[in-house]
Amino acid sequence: MQKSERVNFGSKIGAVLAAAGSAVGLGNIWRFPYETGNHGGAAFILVYLACVLMLGMPIMIAEFTVGRHSKASTGRAYKVLAPGTHWKWLGYLGVLAGFLILGYYSVVAGWTLEYILEAGVNGFADKKPEDFVVAFQSFSKDPVRPLIWLVIFLLVTHFVIVKGVKDGIEKSSKVLMPVLFILIVVLVGCSLSLPNAEKGLEFLLKPDFSKVNGDVFLGAMGQAFFSLSLGMGCLSTYASYFGKETKLGNTALSVGVIDTFVAVLAGLIIFPAAFSVGIQPDAGPSLIFITLPNVFQQAFSGVPILAYIFSVMFYVLLALAALTSTISLHEVVTAFLHEEFNLTRGRAARLVTFGCIIIGVISSLSLGVMQKYTLFDKGFFDLLDFVTAKIMLPLGGLLVCIFVGWYLKRSVSYEELTNGGKLKAGLFNLYIFLLRIVMWKDFFYFSKSERRAILFLLTLLFIFMCIWVLFPVKEESLEQDQEGIEEIKNFLAGVHEMEEKESLQYSYDKPKRIEVVLAAFDPNSADSIEFLQCGLPPFIAHTILQYRRAGGKFRTADDFSRVYGLSSEKFNILKPYIQISEAFRRKQDTLHFIKKVEKDTLAAYKYPEGTLVDLSEADTTELKKIPGIGSGIARMIVAYRKRLGGFYDTVQLKEVNYVDEDMLKWFKLGNTPIHRINANKAGLDKLRSHPYMNFYQAKVIIEYRRKKGKLKSLSQLSLYEEFTEKDLERLSHYLAFD
């Protein structure tokens, strides 16, 4: 069996930006304003945000789970996770959707290159609004020029894909995304400064619920899937390059926030500008290529050089934003062909590029010379957009929900969401609930208090929406607004004046800073002032006092070094001044002391120095008696011991989070036998559930048994590249061959 090597993203920020680059693109800037304009403005945005929260985020995490756990492309991921089932067709659906979208998406991406050239030669100068409409219609229907730009754009995408994951995808995302965000914010400011911009702002932010119907929900759901790149395999393919340390929940939240932020800002660019120059907001996908040239010309009419610079920069950055999306779409299909058919990455990329050129050519011609050829009253371009965005992507997302929510084991989802139990998963039940939204029984996975909180929040949301609809805010006249503003200004000025007087009047009452004076002190009896005079921060002084109130004592000066937050340098400075009184130095009878603690508070008791605890038998109560170990670490140690089957060396404790070298001195190993896994009988899930064995290693054992019979020793596995000498040494303590 060949070793399956898979490149990972080089950094966490690289993984986030790459995933965000897949989501952020023309779908936010071209498609979102178009859909918003067609479906009533702010009402559509509210429905869209609901779709992102209720559908987008859970499905994104689900796709991340599929990708990282399988460590395979979208086309193979479901074969790995559900071998011998029909779930593989879900992977093929994602690959097909990505391929079709890339074909017609590249047409629009190519348009940006034409406008870069047009802006570069200052072709926007002295044009009227109607001139831009005529120019765009003439260009989009041209049978040659759009095809040239289409091919060029796909070749640039091809070049990045061939460079690989780290040198191509990750590097491009780190450069392109930050620059795009900055430029969008600048353009929002320019658009809002135009005359009559407030009308566009009102259209965007004031909901009209009378226009909310089934089409709005369908459009919002399709836009959420399209914009977040759900159901097309991009996210699961990128997730297969995530490292074990990548936090799936945080990454999904970052991508969702960035994507929604860019989409709303795009609306703030388009609509104020559209109302300012007299262009209707339902002008279709061409809106961005008609409105924005007018934006630059009117916003900087007094300084033509700025209009020129911003025009060029915007369309360059728009093209680069489109590039991040085409890269992710291309990678989905390329990775599938590369892994499924054992093609070289270069050859797979060439096949994808050639196929997309064919689809792109037909899509482009359908807007011009082939416009009369339609199916279901739609041209080829519009048909692909409808089928992919409103059918294939929602269907793919629904099937992903069913797969992860119902078919995939909850333990797999929990492991991926918590990075193997290292992270908290307080919202795990909510995540599964949203994936299984059609089955309301999952509501009862929550505790009674959690269910009450959810119902309370839903009730508040319903009441708020009713008040919003039934009692709209009345518009006041401009004169009244001005009067109100002046009253507020006068009031605030009076408040500031009073604050300044009070500040001057009572400035001498402010407490003086305590000077640091090093002097002898007893940590068992000193008060907070003494600790502050020694140079200790207030929070450390508070920690010491809390420790003493709980019954804690400092028997030696070295005991003081274990105070939480106290650095070794600060302790070395204070050590000569620490004086423990004889009363606290006196040793007490151990049995008497323990009995007394049992009567008072067991939680305050800590083992004295030199105590050894049996690592194989100790429960959480016993572990918490060790200095430096609280409830959280104790539970993690016990849980990890259970997953392992027992410890064979105390050094293994360092594999548990927050356990350091100093804690090892408290432990010994007893004679408790280690629970071993029978390598000849255990199934795939049982083998890979062990912390020292991954999926591919478990697969080697299963395949060896199937082809060569039973294993007799680990030496038979040493010939496989999946196992290193360290792996075999560790596993020798946990595998049996009977």
pLDDT confidence band for 447 (50 / 70 / 90): very low
Which of 26-30, 361-365, 376-380, 605-609 is least confident?
A: 26-30
pLDDT at position 596 over 50: no
pLDDT at position 91 over 60: yes
pLDDT at position 485 over 70: no
Q: What value does the mean pLDDT take over residues 479-502?
A: 51
pLDDT at position 308 over 60: yes
pLDDT at position 544 over 60: yes
CA distance 446 to 278: 53
Quick one: which H or E segment has residue 736?
A: strand 735-736
Beta strands 677-678 and 735-736 are parallel
* 658 contact partners, CB below 8 Å, separation of at least 6: 632, 633, 636
pLDDT of residue 3: 37
Residue type at position 137: Q
Residue range 172-188, pLDDT digits in tens: 666 767 777 777 787 78
458 CB neighbour count, 10 Å cutoff: 10
pLDDT at position 593 over 50: no
- Alpha-carbon dihedral 408, 411, 417, 422, rounded to 10 degrees: -160
CA distance 637 to 650: 11
pLDDT of residue 419: 67
Q: Which of 9-13, 124-128, 447-451 has the highest mean pLDDT?
A: 124-128
Please give the structure tokens belonging to residue 618.
């100790």
pLDDT at position 413 over 60: yes
pLDDT at position 495 over 60: no
pLDDT at position 442 over 70: no
pLDDT at position 159 over 80: yes
Coil, helix or strand at residue 24: coil
pLDDT at position 616 over 80: yes
CA distance 336 to 93: 12
Residue range 316-330, pLDDT digits in tens: 777 877 887 888 888
- Alpha-carbon dihedral 295, 298, 299, 300, rounded to 10 degrees: 120
Residue type at position 503: S
- Give pTM, 2 decimals: 0.55
pLDDT of residue 295: 67
Average pLDDT over the chain reads: 75
pLDDT of residue 726: 84
Give the phi and the psi of residue 412 in degrees, each rounded to 5.
-65, -45
pLDDT at position 46 over 80: yes
Residue type at position 737: F
Query: How many residues are present in the chain?
Result: 738
Please give the structure tokens belonging to residue 45.
């945005």
Q: How would DSSP label each residue in 282-293?
A: T--TTHHHHHHH
Q: Comparing C-alpha atoms, which of 55, 47, 48 is closest to residue 465?
A: 47
Chain-centroid distance, C-alpha 653: 30
CA distance 329 to 100: 9
Give the phi and the psi of residue 82 in degrees, each rounded to 5.
-135, 65
Contact status, residue 180 vs residue 24, Cβ threshold 8 Å: yes
Please give the structure tokens belonging to residue 299.
């916003």
Residue range 643-671, pLDDT digits in tens: 888 888 888 888 887 787 888 888 888 88
pLDDT of residue 223: 75
CA distance 599 to 72: 58
CA distance 181 to 258: 9
Q: How would DSSP label each residue in 469-508?
A: HHSPPPPPPHHHHHHHHHHHHHHHHHHHHHHHHHHHHSGG
Please give the structure tokens belonging to residue 511.
């407490």
Q: What value does the mean pLDDT take over residues 374-402?
A: 78
pLDDT at position 609 over 70: yes
721 CB neighbour count, 10 Å cutoff: 12
Give the phi and the psi of residue 366 in degrees, each rounded to 5.
-70, -15
pLDDT of residue 471: 53
Q: What value does the mean pLDDT take over residues 521-544?
A: 81
List Cα–Cα distances, 304 to 67, 578, 592, in angstroms: 49, 74, 90
CA distance 136 to 297: 17
Q: For 297, which DSSP code?
A: H
Residue type at position 164: G
* 371 contact partners, CB below 8 Å, separation of at least 6: 141, 379
pLDDT of residue 16: 66
Q: Which of 30-39, 84-93, 431-440 has the highest mean pLDDT?
A: 84-93
pLDDT at position 515 over 70: no
pLDDT at position 337 over 80: yes
Contact status, residue 380 vs residue 209, Cβ threshold 8 Å: no
pLDDT of residue 151: 92
Cross-strand bridge partners of residue 716: none
Residue range 661-698, pLDDT digits in tens: 888 888 888 888 888 888 888 888 788 888 888 877 88
Which of 486-495, 523-532, 641-650 is least confident?
A: 486-495
pLDDT of residue 536: 84
Q: Comparing C-alpha atoms, which of 660, 623, 663 is closest to residue 639?
A: 623
Please give the structure tokens belonging to residue 473.
């805010």
